[in-house]
Amino acid sequence: MRIAFFSDTYLPKIDGVSISTYQFINKLAERGHEILLFCPGYKEDDLNQYHSNIKIVRLRNFFLPSYPDVKLIYPQGKKIKKHLLLFQPDILHIQTPGFVAQYAVRMARKFSVPLAGTFHTLMTEMAEYLSFYRLLLLDRFFQKIKRKKKSKKPMPASKKLKKEKKLTKKFIANLTNRIYKKCNLIITPTKMIEQNLKDTGFKNSTLVISNGLNLQNFSLTPRELNTQSPRLLHAGRIGFEKNVPTVIQAFVEILERFPEARLDIVGHGPAYGQIEAMVKQWGLEEKIFLVGFLPHEELVNRYPEYDIFLTASTMETQGMVVMESMASGLPCLGVRAFALSEMINHGTNGYLAEPFAHSEIAEYACQILADAKLYRQLSENAVHSATEHDINISIDKLESAYMKLIRE
């Protein structure tokens, strides 16, 4: 098959969508399929050749002032059409509902080919970055004021800002829904996201396909508890919607019972400055280490250095870092929100707290760190959970779905 992918994010940018897209197109190419990928350019860091069956077309773009890692492509319809005419695709597949997806919808109609779309991201959370408050960088201005006051309390949000965010979310939801409703098939990484789409009125055909893991990259070995100096990990994009301050608050309570513990925060993003300021204000520089961005391969190699994975994110559609942590034998702690409730089986491979309940997260972490037998059982179950997400199983399902769409 000849498959054209459309994504508003891709390597070298590291996030769940870019890693998932990379894995899928490479596995499909290995099976003999021809791949054409349209995605933003990142200049000198662009890598455009992974496999002889893959061609990557980088699109000119500009960045979002409130989140420079987010790229918005310039209008390039003629360029996209030219490449598709040469490629003659059998099917188009969108990975994100941004500007590049608009072209996918139009080109699917023009070339009379089916259109699939993977619902990777809860796009309404992007309202944080599309508000005038953040676009004009006013959040950074107020953050500086907060630092000078040395306050641990968050800056109060005005009613006007809350109303603006609500309207922005509604606009994004309408735009996202309009794109996905044009798809012949919507793929979701978890059953919970599939059900959420149906509950919000989607009538399209849906199919659950895990983003998958290349299990060869992970140890798949259950771990023993490190009772001397437990190391906790939070990894991923440091966005405001990831609620990293909740993780830090939980860790402060963990320190009361396990003073030798340390927390590493791996990743970067628009909320990094806020987290950095919080660590300094609370005097935690010797206990919380902001590692910053790590290449994906390096992060995979470092998972075994840790004992527990923590997240307080309330908007995961699957959570690649959660799956990867489990494949490395780490029990995971998260919150009851969206896909985390499906990935983390409470009391089996980790624990779930209520959203923003930092004391509850801390209590579960302490239970695990105080019981070597419990830790070993959770670790074994985490590894078992990860094996259910073998990328090869996901590719089998995706191939079958493509062939069914083409036949129809």
- What is the model's pLDDT at position 170? 62
Q: Which CATH superfamily is domain 216-387 in?
A: Glycogen Phosphorylase B; (3.40.50.2000)
Is the Cβ–Cβ distance between 10 and 39 less than 8 Å? yes
* 232-251 mean pLDDT: 94
- Among candidates 262, 257, 275, which has minimal Cα distance to 312? 275
Q: What is the pLDDT of residue 47?
A: 67
pLDDT of residue 150 exceeding 90? no
**What value does the mean pLDDT take over residues 66-78?**
80
Segment 252-258 mean pLDDT: 97
Picking from 59, 45, 52, the residue whose alpha carbon sits closest to that of residue 26 is 52
- If 0-12 CB within 10 Å is exposed, 13-18 middle and 19+ buried, where does residue 293 land? middle
Q: pTM of the entire structure?
A: 0.84
Instruction: Say yes or no: domain 2-121+167-212+390-407 is CATH 3.40.50.2000.
Output: yes
Q: What is the pLDDT of residue 120?
A: 85
Q: What is the 3-state secondary structure (H, E, C) of 368-404?
A: HHCCHHHHHHHHHHHHHHHHCCEHHHHHHHHHHHHHH
What radius of gyration do the chain's Cα atoms show?
Answer: 21
- The per-residue pLDDT for 4 is 98
Of 16-25, 168-177, 240-249, 352-361, the poorest mean pLDDT is in 168-177
Distance CA 88, CA 95 (A): 19
Amino acid 137: pLDDT? 43
CA distance 77 to 85: 12
Q: What is the mean pLDDT of residues 180-207?
A: 91
Residue 324, pLDDT score: 96
Please state the rounded mean pLDDT for residues 190-194. 89
Q: What 3-state class would DSSP assign to 322?
A: helix
Dihedral angle sign, alpha carbons of residues 338, 155, 264, 252: negative
pLDDT tier, 14 (very low <50, low <70, confident <90, very high otherwise): confident
Mean of all residue pLDDT scores within the chain? 88
In the chain, CATH 3.40.50.2000 sits at: 2-121+167-212+390-407, 216-387
CA-to-CA distance for 242 and 100, rounded, in angstroms? Answer: 25
Contact by Cβ (8 Å): 257, 289: no
81-95, 106-120, 133-147, 319-333, range with the lowest pLDDT:
133-147
The CA–CA distances, whole Å, from 275 to 214, 334, 380, 404 equal: 31, 19, 32, 47
CA distance 165 to 139: 14
Q: Which pLDDT score, from 0 to 100, does residue 227 have?
A: 80
